[in-house]
Amino acid sequence: MATASLTVIDSRPAAQTEIENYLSTREKAKAALVGIEEDIAKVGPDLAHQIVAQAVGKPKLDPDAVVVPFKAAKTKHDQLQEKKAAIEFLLDALAKRLEQLKSQSPSDFVIVLNQHIAATEQQATKTQEEANRVAAELEQLKKELKEIVDAHPDVAPGAPGAETTSKASANTSTTRSKPKAR
């Protein structure tokens, strides 16, 4: 029995496909660059945290004990800087090619940009809907917390397990009446 294969063919012109691929890669590279810059910013504080943890309880700091973690941090920092340089080089090359594509196929570029704008607006709407859903869920949880605290004055809003309550719900403890003596 022969099996049939299905091949999906991109119906867009080659220029639009190339523009889409370059724009997509540019966005991925920008996101990668942000992550790398965040990692670079953490190297020094992470080293300091590690040294502080080693030094606690000791009468003095042993410089020799600092060398090994320093070398590891320096190596990590240098590798991250190299990755950053590579991504920046890629972004520059992508920008040059995108400029060429803009001048060679401006109508195709407009079509792809309009598609990107529509997709981004749709994603922003989904993101806003998710933010609204989370806000509604938080509001419901805070309402339930307030109801429990109001019904049970002997339970403080800051009781174990309730550490994440907001200032508004924490303030309810100052406005409610004191429990009656039994």
| Tens-place pLDDT, residues 7-48 | 655 566 799 999 999 999 999 999 999 999 999 999 999 999
Q: Count CB-CB contacts under 10 A for residue 81.
A: 13
pLDDT at 169: 43
CA 26/CA 152 separation, integer angstroms: 56
pLDDT at 103: 92
